[in-house]
Chains A and B, each alone.
Chain A
Amino acid sequence: MSTSPPPLPPDDEMRGIFRTMTLIRRFEERAADEYMAGRIGGFLHLAIGEEAAIVGTVCALRPDDPLTSTYREHGQALARGSDPRAIMAELLGRSTGLCGGRGGSMHLMDISRSFYGGYGIVGGAVPLAVGLAWAARYRGGDQVAVTMFGEGAANQGVVSECFNMAGLWDLPIVFLIVNNQYGMGTSAKDAAATEDFFPRAAAYGIEAWKVDGMDVLAVRTAVSEAARIARDEGRAACVELLTYRYKGHSMSDPDTTRSAEEKDRWRARDPLITFERVLLGEGVMDAEAIAAMRAEVDQVVDDAAAFAEQSPEVPVSEVARNVYAYPWNDDPRGSALVSP
């Protein structure tokens, strides 16, 4: 183990990391407003507090490394560079949305940026990432598949199946266990037999370890190393990112079970605040530059919200589109019926 901390990323990348974390935070705060105004339906899961885990991961990957996530995935899409307008329009269920209004907040995808989607069944997307890794190796490519899922998902049987397959077949995959310490209202302590989750992957011969998921540079370093193991050594790796979400599980959760004292403790470690200190301390940005960046991000978010609100609804006549590669007919009562 090396003792000295790794060198800081180049200044440009440092600024980019800060901007993306800020964008995710502001975007999600605006999404919460849109939800409260009744313009967003369904579930809305915010990752506020988890920005370091998201951005530290994405900036450690190549843009063509396939990535999957959970329903808490606005940040992954933003970090991969998807258009904030299209994301907000998807949240509002508009025709200009990233997925044409069919997926909503839980199911963003931008395949042009190798973001293979957010999925709503806890643990259910993990085998898809194993398949993406399989496909990369099958074709002789050097992409690394990456899947982010919660510590709650780590209790699902299919996740253990995936650790086994990835260990058995030495697949180029990185499993990222985003341990925000709660699955809805249940503390991980009340749901898991062990405190740490990464040893479960290690049990299948996968190199696995845990890092501070509130420290974006620590996440970046760990995920870079995990991706290196997967890409260069052709075997799976797993990193547990210890983090915290500041809001309830979703917008419909009043968040009454977690203590104020606990929340304050984690808020003191807010990744945006701590990274801002690093930027100032290292002289990468000064207060003025940071204020200017915030204003620019706010404008992007304002523009995204305005765009989404003004976007047209999806024509109801298109409800049966994309059930199949080609439709037999457009009748929603029988999208696979060859009519008399």
Chain B
Amino acid sequence: MTTPPPEVTYRDALNQALREEMHRDESVFLMGEDIGHFDGAFKVTRGLLAEFGEQRVVDTPITEAGFTGLGIGAAMAGLRPVIEIMTVNFALVAMDQIISNASKIRYMFGGQASVPMVIRMPGGAGHQLSAQHSHSLEAMFTHVPGLKVVVPATPEDAKGLLKTAIRDDDPVIFLESEGLYGKKGPVGGDDDLIPFGQAVVRRPGRDCTVIAHSRMVWVALAAAERLAEQGIEVEVVDPRTFRPLDLGTLAASVARTSRAVVVDEGWPECGIAAGVAAHLYEACFDLLDAPIGRVNSADVPMPYARNLEQAAIPQPDDVVAAVMATMAREVPR
């Protein structure tokens, strides 16, 4: 057993998790488009075909509904498929399999069958990929009981949460961020699993809680730096999983700061920020000094032009403005 290097990329952290879990459990196999001979569209599966062979690292036709459904069936039979959908945008053609089958099978059949599978897929905007290739669909998946939804922001979380996901007995939607694959950081070892349903405080602060996940954690932390220069200390909390949601940690932070802003790269309507805010209102309305702020992508299909795209997705300045608005209590009473 070699000790992992102290700093690895998010991409390689995921690769380590896959490799370690495949060594640990023969029932784990990988399936997806271009994941074998091509090493994956984002190179997450680099080298795994050579190491584990074609039976366990399977290049598929471009047939997302088909191979997602195949994975569900294989999982019902007790295997542990890790399905890579090239990007979350293409999950839309597999949505029937995910929602009508994967999320329902345990419940609908009275607990007779499990679907221990992981569907990994990156999403997010910021690369001028325009309207059809820039989705953040966390809210769609989080809407669905029976799924687990995981949104890692750091290499350490990417690795530790993916290992937990592979060992979990329920279908896990594992949402990576295209913008984070090159991000470096420390990672845990073979036995360092990160449990689902445990939010983490990324930066402590007394004035306002900023809840952010995945790439938005880094946007929130950049905003926190700027706010600190003005004497405002925000507490950045990363839920890490939306199903289950660690409302306890989120509410405890809001109880300390009395203010909250939720940052989410998805759209505003019925989105992640809206859902988290609703939970916080129910849990700690009496403790709030101001309405909860939301920072979302603009309510538009993602535009191509660089300036438009940057204007449409949450930036540190947007978070700063939302926190300032919350602090100023400029709200009709």
Contacts and interface: CB of A to CB of B under 8 A. Distances in A.
Interface of A: 66, 68, 97-103, 107, 109-111, 116-117, 119-121, 124-136, 138-139, 145, 157-158, 161-162, 164-165, 168, 321-325, 328, 334-340
A339 B69 contact: no
Nearest to B243: A336
Interface residues of B, number: 54
Contacts of A100: 110-111
Contact of A335 (B79, B108, B145, B251): B145
Given A322-B107, A338-B197, A109 B75 contact: no
26 contacts: A68-B73, A103-B109, A109-B109, A111-B109, A117-B113, A121-B96, A121-B100, A124-B96, A124-B100, A127-B66, A127-B72, A128-B70, A134-B74, A135-B77, A138-B55, A158-B66, A161-B65, A164-B63, A165-B66, A165-B70, A322-B107, A338-B197, A338-B248, A340-B248, A340-B251, A340-B252
Report the 5 A-B pairs with minimum CB-CB distance, sorted nearest first: A131-B73, A127-B69, A161-B66, A135-B77, A100-B110
Interface of B: 29, 55, 60-61, 63, 65-79, 81, 96-97, 100-101, 105-114, 145-146, 148, 168-170, 197-198, 243-248, 251-252, 279, 283-284
Contacts of A128: 69-70, 72-73, 76, 101
A165 B322 CA distance: 50
A245 B73 CA distance: 29
Nearest to A127: B69
Given A165-B63, A337-B247, A130 B70 contact: yes
Contacts of B245: 334, 336-338
A246 B114 CA distance: 36
Contact of B108 (A107, A116, A129, A161): A107
A119 B74 contact: no
Contacts of B55: 138
Instruction: Point out which of B73, B97, B168, B244 has the most chain A C-beta atoms below 10 A from its C-beta.
Output: B73
B95 to A, nearest CB: 11
A121 B96 CA distance: 8
Contacts of B66: 127, 130, 158, 161-162, 164-165
Contact of B111 (A136, A158, A321): A321
B79 A138 contact: yes
Contacts of A98: 110
B114 A102 contact: no
A127 B106 contact: no
Contact of A138 (B29, B109, B197): B29
Instruction: Point out which of A119, A120, A158 has the most chain B C-beta atoms below 10 A from its C-beta.
Output: A158
A142 to B, nearest CB: 14
Contacts of A145: 73
Given A124-B101, A165-B67, A340-B251, A102 B74 contact: no
Given A99-B109, A323-B106, A336-B245, A127 B65 contact: yes
A117 B105 contact: yes
Nearest to B104: A107
A161 B67 CA distance: 9
Contact of A136 (B77, B96, B100): B77
B316 to A, nearest CB: 29
Contacts of A124: 69, 96-97, 100-101
Contacts of B69: 124, 126-128, 130-131, 158, 162
Contacts of B243: 336
A127 B246 CA distance: 34
A135 to B, nearest CB: 3
A237 B1 CA distance: 45
Contact of B101 (A119, A323, A338): A119
B92 to A, nearest CB: 13
A135 B110 contact: no
A131 B72 contact: yes
A321 B145 CA distance: 12
A158 B72 CA distance: 14
A128 B55 CA distance: 18
Nearest to B99: A121
